[in-house]
Structure 1
Amino acid sequence: MTRRRPVRPASADDLLTELGRLTAQALERAELQQARVELAEALQRELLPGALPELPGLRPAARYAPARHGLDIGGDWYDGFRLPDGSLAFSVGDVQGHDVEAAAFMGQVRVGLRAVAGAVTDPGEVLGRANDLLLSMDCTLFATCTFLRYDPVTGELAAARAGHVPAIWATADGRFGTAEDEGGLPLGLLPGEVYPVTRRRLPVAGAFVLLTDGVVEGPSFPIEAGLKQVTRVLRAEVAAGIGTGRPMDPGELAAEIIKVADLTGHADDAAVLVLCHDTPPARGGGR
């Protein structure tokens, strides 16, 4: 018969040693998590543009807000750049996931859109080619996106959507709305996807706002309520601008709209891109 040795009760020193070991592990994990957060934030800052292009009559501005908790950073972006034909291109998007990988993929999407837009002018074709490019890279993530092209000669704004949140607009004559344009699937899901294009003229002063779902949707805040709140803010700011008689400041407008994300308690990062447009000068033959 085998006799077992009695289990020695843990002493105070044993308990303190185990507590120290667990504390060290927890600190190591916390430091690793913090390092990943800081890396994602650094990537986000470096990948977002430092300035946006503008033209007479069109003034853009953007704002970005990181998520409130954890590593929910890195997926949202905004961008703006000049095209070879003299028009301007703008994009806003949201990458699946919220970590360092999402931030890196966001950079790939932005570079891909810029590269394609330099060769084709139609926003739908830009998204289609960018979609196929991402799929050829065997990417495991996907991205929603809205891509715009502004033609300063015609005053036309052409837009295509890839599964993204609709834009919101308001004009100085009191009109406003949500741009529920037809769109296609997010980028990186299905080869050969087609992205319809919606074309608008901007004959009256106002603002056109692109955003990500982190601005208008939260854990207990439905996206419809968020879109209505952004619309209220936009209409109030446009009306205030009319009252002062000065052109709207896109930076101030973007700063007010990004505050809506605080109301939603957003668990996602958030981006806003505002295009303030003036009434264009009359041309021969009218508009």
Structure 2
Amino acid sequence: MASNRPADTPDDLLARLGSLTAEARARADAHRTQVELALALQRGMLPDGLPEVAGVTVAARYAPAFAGLNVGGDWYDGFVLPDGSIGYSIGDVQGHTIEAAAFMGQVRVGLRALGSVTSDPGELLARTNDLLLSLGGSLFATCTMVRFDPVTWELDSARAGHVPMVRATASGRSRVVEDEGGLPLGIEPGVEYPVTRYRLTERGAFVLVTDGVVEGPSLSVDEGLEQVATLAGVGVGAALGAASLATSVMRIADSIGHDDDAAVLVIGHDAPPPGAAPGEPGG
């Protein structure tokens, strides 16, 4: 049966096309605004700078994910601890949402607040874990917390489910260090986080990353970490600064087309002053 509805005129078609175009533009603008707000939240929670002491240089890099809202919970931080040592952290919150970025802020604030009462990285992770659970959230975070002592020239490390870090020295030794660790933060109360001590007897660097740097569609975590170890060994051997090494490591994430946030933290150190490092190299 023929329809009595009059055929659309060219003007009608143009009006309908214009309406659809306006709706699509409004949706695109709303999404762009959401992404910009999420990125502003994420970047606003990262520190403007990182503390350093004589003989130590620190550099960090951060890149948002290529997909989704382009925001997640990766972070890095550094602050002075009660005994005058320096604490550095890097971590990754589950998920890629504004909620993940907000939870990251809670973890960072918790670490800093509790870092005013303890200098031990294992105790600091344990207290932060219990604090997060007391808040009743549903997310969790992996984290590595390290403490550098400028008097003894030692570095203590504790790990909460985070990917291992890499250690490179001027003598040519570069390796992934599989320190013992505990569960991610925010999963189970009363978790203990063992501490590993490194005595720094020569020039070198510690490279800490989130899994977005070393894992992708074409790269396993182990393969990615080995690439970091290779770059760290070359960089320390060539006396590259922490900033150059951090940039070089971040290129791994760029090369694999990462779909996750990516963060790099490099702690470079000179050889210790005479008498600063007791005993033999540890870790």
TM score, norm. by length of structure 1:
0.90
Contact 2:52-2:58 at 8 Å conserved across structures? yes
For the structure 1 residues 198 and 285, does the alpha-carbon distance in structure 2 shift closer, same or farther, using more than 3 Å as the test?
closer
1:204 corresponds to: 202
Amino acid at match of 2:83: D
Distance 2:233 2:6 in 1: 71
2:229 corresponds to: 231
SS in 2 for 1:147: strand
1:85 corresponds to: 83
Distance 1:227 1:211 in 2: 9
Q: How many residues align?
A: 278
1:256 corresponds to: 248
Match of 1:267 among 244, 253, 259: 259
SS in 1 for 2:258: coil
Amino acid at match of 1:274: V
2:166 corresponds to: 168
Amino acid at match of 2:264: V
Amino acid at match of 1:257: V
Match of 1:8 among 2, 5, 8: 5
Distance 2:277 2:74 in 1: 43
1:114 corresponds to: 112
Amino acid at match of 1:46: G
Q: CA deviation at 1:8?
A: 2.9
Q: CA deviation at 1:285?
A: 10
1:36 corresponds to: 34
Contact 1:36-1:100 at 8 Å conserved across structures? no
2:94 equivalent to 1:67: no
Q: CA deviation at 1:96?
A: 1.2
2:213 corresponds to: 215
Contact 1:48-1:79 at 8 Å conserved across structures? yes
For the structure 1 residues 192 and 10, does the alpha-carbon distance in structure 2 shift closer, same or farther, using more than 3 Å as the test?
farther
Per-residue CA deviations over 1:101-149 (Å, capped at 9, x if unaligned) read 2222111110100111111122111111101111111112111110111
Alignment RMSD, CA only?
A: 2.0
Distance 2:49 2:92 in 1: 20
Distance 2:160 2:198 in 1: 18
2:130 corresponds to: 132
Per-residue CA deviations over 1:42-71 (Å, capped at 9, x if unaligned) read 112211111111111221111111222331
TM score, norm. by length of structure 2:
0.92
Contact 1:112-1:130 at 8 Å conserved across structures? yes
Percent identity of paired positions between Structure 1 and Structure 2? 59
Per-residue CA deviations over 1:219-262 (Å, capped at 9, x if unaligned) read 22211221111111111111111xxxxxx411111111111111
For the structure 1 residues 33 and 58, does the alpha-carbon distance in structure 2 shift closer, same or farther, using more than 3 Å as the test?
same
